[in-house]
Amino acid sequence: MPYPMGAQMKFEKNILCIGAGYVGGPTMTMIANKCPNYKVTVVDINKDRIDAWNGPNCPIYEPGLDEVVAKTRGKNLFFSTETDRGIREADIIFVSVNTPTKTFGEGAGKAADLQYWEKTARQILANSESDKIIIEKSTLPVRTAEAMERILNANTKGIHFEVLSNPEFLAEGSAMQDLEKPDRVLIGSRETPEGIKARKEVVAIYAHWVPAKNILESNVWSAELSKLTANAFLAQRISSINSISALCEKTEADVDEVAYAIGTDSRIGSRFLKASVGFGGSCFQKDILNLVYICHGYGLHEVAEYWESVVKLNQWQQKRFIKNMLGNMFNTVAGKRIALFGFAFKANTGDTRESPALAITRGLLEEHAEVIITDPKALPHAREDLRDIKSGVSFEPDPYKAAAGAHAIAVMTEWKEYQSLDYERILASMPQPAFIFDGRNILDHRKLFKLGFNVFAIGKAPLKHF
Ligand code: NAD
Ligand code: UGA
């Protein structure tokens, strides 16, 4: 899609977003859709990604996204690799580049790697010719805005940059719904007259469609820390119920019944209590480890350990799943074909970052199993993630073919389509005894057991024929 020169003349404001990923793409599409009076440009250093945004299929799978992109692209939404020019023309710049866990040097394995963020800040500085509002959309350590302000405002051009935090709370798979009807939008700024003026400009963007009561304003540090805290609390709930799932398996309590019973207490609430093989995704682990690193930095070691246990429990849950498979399949899976149903970290996305399926695949391969992976959307990423594996793993889009000849099926992702498969047909194609390990508790376990499967779910007594 051409990126028209001078198109900014028609629009009230020019918004730029640096980073066209899972956050930048959908959030800017929603802003463009709801604010036809603004020109929204999304830039990225990854040309293939930008070409895909400009092509018939968006580079990420997200229900409802393609339609809104098709409606707005070329009107007031543009995807481009021309970052320098985008910066020059922008009034407001959202930065949604990746902030992965650092893999090297000080803080390796915990701290956030801020190199992409800092490069972006320097590029903004080099190309700006007027005052700008810079918005942290990426998830960042608390007090990052301070460092950014120092870099940006150390300019000799007399340009003022106001750095704000507007963290994103969307979840993949429901991003468009989350963006259209957010529980809240959080905008943090300095509490100076300039900071508050900039905050109001950002409020004005969201006010196009978000009710005023759902737009929260705070100081910039609270906004930064609220994002890390929200992810830590969400992940903590999953680790909490997963810890109880282990106890359920020992005591014949049923974790779904326990979750339902506690969730009806309005103080606890029912959401995010689904026991599973573990949480995945690019953010929960990364953000908690970042929180842990920050706490250690402030000498708050007990706080750091408290939150780190959420990640440790999650890793243990995945190891426990493999051990359970092994133990129940007569202590060996060597040479046995095992079908993984799903590879995405959750349903309705093709994203596989930190998917529990990755850990399960590698664990099974260590046991010399032959792993066959099926997934409706994530096979391209699965192939990429496992490109270092030379043998023992294969990919099959059809779940029936994946299961044929397999000793066991392990459900890794809660794709709805796995609930309505013909399991009688599947059982007939598998060697006996046949096993199902439901890592998402989505199948009808009693029915499968009656058909002849040995069924092992998370946090439930096993249903076995021997
Ligand atoms: P992503 O990897 O999908 O996208 C980031 C993009 O930034 C990439 O396309 C990359 O090429 C681009 N980029 C990096 N450096 C650049 C530069 N200098 N100039 C231009 N482009 C550059 O990541 P994501 O999942 O969109 O996450 C982005 C941030 O948002 C992270 O901090 C993440 O923690 C946070 N976040 C993610 C989600 C989510 O659901 N994925 C939700 C909320 C917040
Ligand atoms: C999560 C948060 O929900 C978003 O609010 C946040 O913006 C985002 O992280 C981020 O910062 O990246 P996301 O990771 O996309 O969103 O998806 P979730 O729905 O939170 O699921 C995360 C993982 O937890 C998945 O593997 C999911 O299957 C698992 N999960 C979720 C459970 O095992 N049990 C549950 O009850 C809920």
Return the SS3 of 373.
strand
Same domain, 258 and 200: no
Same domain, 186 and 48: yes
Mean pLDDT of 235-260: 98
Ligand 1 nearest atom to the CA of residue 140, by list position: 32
Distance of CA 332 to the CA centre of its chain: 34
Q: Which of 124, 121, 28, 137 is nearest to 76 (CA)?
A: 28
- Cα of 235 vs centre of ligand 2, distance in Å, is 8
248 counts as catalytic: no
The one catalytic residue among 35, 58, 283, 295: 283
> What pLDDT is stored for residue 10 in this prediction?
83
Q: Which of 328, 234, 229, 319 is nearest to 274 (CA)?
A: 234
421 in Cβ contact with 360 (< 8 Å)? no
DSSP 8-state symbol, 73: B
Q: pTM score, two decimals?
A: 0.96
In a domain, 111, yes or no: yes
Return the SS3 of 269.
coil
> What pLDDT is stored for residue 116 in this prediction?
95
Structural domains of the chain, count: 2
Return the SS3 of 218.
strand
Q: What is the pLDDT of residues 269-317, one digit of tens each?
A: 999 999 999 999 999 999 999 999 999 999 999 999 999 999 999 999 9
Q: Of 8-22, 246-260, 450-464, which gets the smallest average pLDDT?
A: 8-22
Q: Which of 308, 306, 284 is nearest to 139 (CA)?
A: 284
How many C-beta neighbours within 10 Å does residue 230 have? 17
Residue to substitute in 17, 23, 179 for testing ligand 1 pocket (most ligand atoms within 8 angstroms of CB): 23
Ligand 1 nearest atom to the CA of residue 120, by list position: 18
In a domain, 241, yes or no: no
Same domain, 18 and 100: yes
In a domain, 221, yes or no: no
Same domain, 281 and 133: no
> What pLDDT is stored for residue 114 in this prediction?
94
Q: Distances in Å between the alpha carbon of 260 and those of 171, 275, 443?
A: 23, 11, 17
> What pLDDT is stored for residue 405 in this prediction?
98
DSSP 8-state symbol, 432: S
Q: Of 74-88, 150-164, 170-184, which gets the smallest average pLDDT?
A: 150-164
Q: Quickly tell me which residue has 């529990």 as its tokens.
A: 356
- Cα of 43 vs centre of ligand 2, distance in Å, is 26
- Cα of 350 vs centre of ligand 1, distance in Å, is 16
Same domain, 45 and 149: yes
Within 6 A (CB) of ligand 2 lie 139, 168-172, 231, 234, 238, 272-274, 276, 279-281, 283-284, 345-346
Same domain, 257 and 367: yes
Asked if pLDDT for residue 118 goes beyond 80, the answer is yes
Ligand 1 nearest atom to the CA of residue 46, by list position: 11
Same domain, 152 and 62: yes
Q: Which of 133, 140, 164, 180 is nearest to 27 (CA)?
A: 180
In a domain, 236, yes or no: no
Mean pLDDT of 371-381: 98
| 411 alpha carbon, closest ligand | 2
Q: Quickly tell me which residue has 């399991």 as its tokens.
A: 423
In a domain, 227, yes or no: no
Tokens of 47: 């040309």
Within 6 A (CB) of ligand 1 lie 18-24, 43-46, 49, 83, 96-99, 116, 119-120, 138-139, 168, 170, 172, 282-283
Asked if pLDDT for residue 4 goes beyond 90, the answer is no
> What pLDDT is stored for residue 6 in this prediction?
44
What band does 155 get if pLDDT is binned at 50, 70 and 90? Answer: confident
Question: Which helix (H) or strand (E) element contains residue 77?
Answer: strand 77-80
**What mean pLDDT, rounded, does the chain reach?**
96
> CATH number for the domain including 449?
3.40.50.720
Q: Which of 19, 2, 249 is nearest to 124 (CA)?
A: 19
What is the residue type of 344?
A
Q: What is the pLDDT of residues 190-214, one digit of tens each?
A: 999 999 999 999 999 999 999 999 9
Same domain, 183 and 55: yes
- Cα of 171 vs centre of ligand 2, distance in Å, is 6
> What pLDDT is stored for residue 8 in this prediction?
45
| 347 alpha carbon, closest ligand | 2
Of 193, 210, 227, which closes a domain?
A: 210
Q: What is the pLDDT of residues 427-437, one digit of tens each?
A: 999 999 999 99
Same domain, 358 and 425: yes
Nearest-angstrom CA–CA distance, 229 and 184: 15
**Whose CA is closest to atom 4 on ligand 1?**
21
Same domain, 205 and 65: yes
In a domain, 122, yes or no: yes
Helix axis angle for 115-127 and 144-153, nearest 10°, is: 30
In a domain, 234, yes or no: no
In a domain, 362, yes or no: yes
> What pLDDT is stored for residue 3 in this prediction?
52
Asked if pLDDT for residue 9 goes beyond 70, the answer is no
Asked if pLDDT for residue 7 goes beyond 60, the answer is no
- Cα of 402 vs centre of ligand 1, distance in Å, is 33
Of 210, 237, 271, which closes a domain?
A: 210
Asked if pLDDT for residue 146 goes beyond 80, the answer is yes
- The boundaries of the domain holding residue 42 are 7-210
What band does 423 get if pLDDT is binned at 50, 70 and 90? Answer: very high
**Whose CA is closest to atom 31 on ligand 2?**
272
Same domain, 363 and 443: yes
Ligand 2 nearest atom to the CA of residue 139, by list position: 11
Same domain, 206 and 285: no
Of 158, 181, 210, which closes a domain?
A: 210
